[in-house]
Structures are given as C-alpha cells and as structure tokens.
Chain A
C-alpha cells in the first residue's frame, strides 16, 4: 500500500504539466428507451480533459449534461464510443470493475452532499477506503489528512447534522479526495449553498486545482462556470462550444 502510494505521487506531480489526458471521450453516444420511444441523450461527444484542468460542463436541462456526467463518472456505460479514463478504456467494463474504477479513480461531489447522517465526518471520509480494503490504521490516517486538507481538522468527530452546509460540502470534498483520484467530479457543488459559502467552496476547488488536481464541475450556473478555466457547453446531446476563459 505504502509502496504504491510512493510511486503514485511522482506520476501525478509530473502529469501536472497538462499534457496527459485524464478523460478521453471519442464519439460517445447514449441511447435509452423511455416508454415506447428511444431517447438519444448523447449524439456523439468528443471531449478531452487533460491532467490538472479545471473544466466546467454547462448546458440547459435536457442537453445530456447529466448523462455525460454519469458516463464520465463510470456510473453508466455509453451505448457506443470510446472512453479512456487516465489511459484505461472503461467503456466496456463489468459492473464490478466499474465499481473499482469509481472507488479509486474518481471522487464525487454531489449537490446534496450525500453524507451518512449518523456517522462522524471522519467515518464519512473513510467510506471509499473501506471498499478499497485499506486497513483501519491507513483509513484513519488518510481520512484525517484529507479532512485537514479541506480545513476541517477540528471537526472530525462531528456528525453532518452538527455542521453547516459549507462544512458538509467540505466533508464531501474530503471524501472525494481521500483516494487521491485522477478526477474530481462535482455535480452542482454549490447548488445547495448560499452565495458566500458557494464562493468558499469554489475557492477550495481553485486551491485543489492549483495543487494539481484535475476537476470537472457540472453546473448550470454561469457564475460557477466563470471561475473555471475551460467551459464546455452541451446542447441536444452534442458539444456546442468548448472554450477557454480569459
């Protein structure tokens, strides 16, 4: 475990120069039946996100934004197309392999935090490590580290219902970071927060990005997108625009 980490660390740092693609999507389509009709949620999406990018995916509802996020997050598989996550083709993986990729390669941040209400912040952050089989000692160490990273070193024993919304989202981010994932995938991370707290969370994302973390934020708020360096807009299942913010 420790040996693997030691070798992990330099790779991630060296990839921070922005050349290696973390996400490589080629001709991704997603079709699913809805009653009698079939819905074409994605009609051929090509997208490359490189290491250490901070990208926003925007689009109105029905644009295929959520479907794309599910595929990027390995929660769903595309109908056709190629998806390489961190150099590994994940488009045709089995359920159990997808679970493994989700657990180790992707950190999720949800709009509604999705914390286990009855468990302490520390236990919440330890959750992904439980499923990857880390020892209790290792879990404790890395969860503590991760909570400290998001500025909650003094709130580890608190339960989510004893915390503010911003603190809860920080716990969720700590949980997403605890496996040192190749990709941090956030779905409307500020949607349930007031403007000021939302700003703080976006500030935290910016800090993480500065430290080399690859982050994709799915949002419909222009304010959030404005703080990302790159904005990908979707419409009707296709990439409408893909531009760098000034």
Chain B
C-alpha cells in the first residue's frame, strides 16, 4: 500500500466515523439537548453521573438558561431541591450541584452562570467536608471544564463521547435488566433539572437481598471516622478564598445569596462531635455565619434520627429538602425548628449556635 493511499483511507474512515457519531448523538440525544425524543421510557439511559455531570450540566443549563441556581455537592444532588424550594418556583432554576463538588468548582460554575445567564438567586448547600483539606481542590480535576469559569468552544465534541457512552450504558442496562420503580430499564436517570431521583440503587441491593441502608450507613460512618480523626486535616485558606469569591461575585452582580449547612444523620453528627475535626467544624460554622450568614441544619433531633430522611449517614433524601425548603423560605417558622435545626445565624447571633453546640457536646460526653 502506498503512503498516499494509507493517508486517504485513514482520513476517510476517521472522519466518516466522526460524522456517524455526531448523527448518533443527535438521534440518541443522551442529555435531551434537542428535545426530540421525549417518549415515555425512551432516552432514559444515561452515562455514569460522577464523571459526566461535569460536562452534562453545562449543556442542560444552557437549554434552561436559569435565573436561580443551586450549588453544592452530592448532598444537594441527592436532595433534588427544585420541588421543595418554593421561593424559586416562579423562576427558571437549575441544580448545579456536583458529586464531590468543591468550593473552587462552585466558584467557577457561578462565574460561568453569571457570564452566560441573568442570575438573580443563588442557594448554596454547603458541607463541612467540602471545606476540609481532605477534599481536593477540584472534585474531578480530570473532568472539569470550568477552569476560570469558561467552557472551551470546541467542547461540543464532547457530546460525541456521551453518545458512545449512552450506547454502552443502554446495552449494559438491557443485559443486567436493571429497572427503576416505574419498571423502566435504567442505570442512571437525571430529571429535567439534573438531580438524581431514582431509587434504582436501593432496589438493586434489595434484589440482591442485601440491607442497603445498613451497608451504606456503616461504610460511610467508617470512612468518615478515619477522615475526622486524621491529625493532618485543616481548613485551607484557598477554600475560604473560594467561598469569599462566591460572595463577592454575588454582591457585584446583585444576586440574592442563601447558604445552608446540610444535616447529618445523628450517628454521624455525634461521631463528628467526638472527633479530632470538631474544632474545625466550629471554625467552619463560625466562618460561614460571619462571612455570609447561614441556615443551620444539624444537631440530634427527631428528624436527624430518622433514617427515612437519609440515603446514608450524610446524604439526605428528597423528603429532607421539603423540610429545609420550608424552614428557609416559609414566612413563618415551622414548628420543628430549634436552635440546632432550621435557624438562621450570622455574626450577630452565631455565639448562640456555638453555645448550643457546646451544650450538646457536653451532653454527649456525659452519655446523656
């Protein structure tokens, strides 16, 4: 074979394949970009979410062009807050939370949103773990497209990859016969707003005869026990800087900002209070209250002791978002609020919160 023929054959096959994938992308429409395949049960096979949400969400958001956004990590992803946070019901809202989402990523996402949409409201569900040195600067350095808050122009090619993944995932779902509660074969499903809502994982464990919730609780508690007692963990300055940058961006663009600290399951909260990391937790709470003001959801009470509100010891379920939504946005405080659950704190009253936390810690230590 001559070199010229070799080159011609290679380029023609290579570019034909590209065109084929582009067409497949359009037909399969893995993330609903074109809204032309919205039949029940069709187009619900999605690529694995941890890696791909970092690509997908930008395109989803472009389709919605939100004026209100949620920021956070997997806790907010699992909470699916769009149905509960009534204040935003009249707005085009989008859940930008990412599994393992970090402050730097959220800062970049906010910059991207401000640059591309007319953002009026930002709600950030922030977690202690996101502030610790234990978590990386970028939750997924390999995948994020948002360095400096911009999306490479040629990132459009990435959609091609998602088509390939969608085809693979579809095949996998069919072969493994995974179904969601509606009986549709599915692996992952995002709703229109980019939150995970299905209980496929729990059902899959049930199918295998394994107590899913116990397993999740146990393994997450064990993991966090190690993290909280690592003597090397700190709250790095760059994380505080990223948080301040989020506030600055909101302030400069007249955006109404709301922050809340996610609740933890009671065993998890008690473990945190007894750990080496507890002084850092106090620093974290105080920092948020003083910098921006924050809605606090924590402590040990009837809600945080009820497993029905949690996927595992640190990921609340959707039902919890209804409680959080009411506490933050209802004009009158709901009856379930107490000093450690559903109250707003800022620099004026943060000492009350710290005293309540100290009281609870003393109670825990005395075994009550």
Q: Do A and B come from one complex?
A: no
Query: Which B residues fall within an 8 A CB radius of A?
Result: none
Query: Which A residues fall within an 8 A CB radius of B?
Result: none
